[in-house]
Amino acid sequence: MSDVSTAAPNPHLAQYEARGLKGRILSGVQPTGNLHLGNYLGAIRNFARLQDDYECLYCVVDQHAITVPQDPKLLAAQTREIASAFLAAGVDGKKQIIFNQSMVPAHAQLAWVFNCVARMGWMSRMTQFKEKAGKDRENVSLGLFAYPALMAADILIYKATHVPVGEDQKQHLELTRDIAIKFNNDFAAPDFFPVTEPLIFGEATRVMSLRDGTKKMSKSDPSDQSRINLTDDADAIAMKIRRAKTDPLPMPETVEDAEKRPDADNLLGIFAALADREKADVVREFAGQQFSAFKAALTEVAVAKLGPVGAEMQRLMKDPAHVDGILRDGAARARAIADPILADVYRTVGFLKP
């Protein structure tokens, strides 16, 4: 994990540094259901690892979810599922803030202001929008177009200094930075919002399908065999790894060799990430062996690392009252940070005091 950009001394950092912290993190996960290994290794596992160094807010973005149609009955359950995953992955819900977006109205309120800061041209260039809208641009919701402005509000309503991002969200964070800079300029409020830094994670943030190493592991793949769900038990994990696609050759001898073989490369990357080892080191250990031996070892590490997380998630999901309590408590603490910042924004923009 590394800091990417090189900014001038950041006035927003001092208050965290004074407490021995590196900054404040906000991250969001959509409650779309079926959390899988890709979500875990790409995002959620890292959330727990950041909590010693940062003040962390982890948000279930239910308002982003409804930019595309959702079944209201499922949305609530899926919101709890994500919160359960945060907790099961080791995030401390008392020390950090775990909450859902719709319980903190300031996100949507700031998002409106940002809708008026961001330019149509900026939004039109967002690749995620272009991909999601596809050919059906006339028929997607206005919310889907405005999605990145709400994401910018999620981050800036807390003046978060850092956001852990995968490859697919880098452009949205760039937009967040552009919105912060334009707001600060437009309202002659230098340093009002921080120019939030990305935290990029290293290897294996891209977990591919177990059935096709060239496609991302996805909750929407019709084949359940293509992914390891976070709630899969040991038998399901073992079966999916046994059936995972490979190629007819023995295990690759070098990292370069592996990179030319997507299915092998994917499994090696998953092994390395789960075992917290360098991929090169894993390649060396299994070089020239049969896939069956490697898969047995992969199953062992996957069951050891994911089994307890899945079991804890299952336990929490059976206790929705407990999870709701954590979300409400988190939201109350989030509002205590967000509301004064929103009041400052309103004053800066020229809205009358209520």
Contact in structure between 169 and 146 (CB atoms under 8 Å): no
Task: Confirm or reject binding of residue 78 to ligand TRP (CB under 6 A).
Answer: no
Q: How far is the CB of 221 from ligand TRP (least distance, A)?
A: 17
Task: Confirm or reject binding of residue 31 to ligand TRP (CB under 6 A).
Answer: no
- Token pair, residue 91, equals 């995030």
Q: How far is the CB of 35 from ligand TRP (least distance, A)?
A: 12
Contact in structure between 230 and 194 (CB atoms under 8 Å): no
Residue number with CB closer to ligand TRP (170 or 261): 170
- Token pair, residue 302, equals 């996957």
Q: How far is the CB of 59 from ligand TRP (least distance, A)?
A: 7
Each residue 172-191 as x (binds ligand TRP by CB under 6 A) or -, in order, gives x-------------------
Task: Confirm or reject binding of residue 61 to ligand TRP (CB under 6 A).
Answer: yes
Which candidate in 22, 170, 182, 219 is catalytic?
219
For residue 311, how many other CB atoms are within 10 A of its CB? 14
State how far the Cα of 336 lies from the Cα of 340, in Å rounded to an integer.
7
Contact with ligand TRP (CB under 6 A) among 24, 27, 161, 268: 27
Contact with ligand TRP (CB under 6 A) among 13, 163, 283, 338: 163
Q: How far is the CB of 21 from ligand TRP (least distance, A)?
A: 18
State how far the Cα of 132 lies from the Cα of 199, in Å rounded to an integer.
25
Nearest CA-CA partner of 210 in 246, 238, 255, 178:
246
Tell me if residue 219 is catalytic: yes
Tell me if residue 216 is catalytic: yes
DSSP code string of 167-216: GGGHHHHHHHHHHHHHHHHHTT-TTSS--PEEEE--TT--PBPSS-TTSB
Which 3 state secondary structure label does DSSP give 57? strand
Span from 23-31, 91-99, 320-328, 346-354 in contact with ligand TRP (CB under 6 A): 23-31
- The residue ranges that bind ligand TRP (CB under 6 A) are 26-28, 30, 61, 64, 151, 154-155, 163, 169, 172
Q: Which residues are catalytic?
A: 132, 216, 219
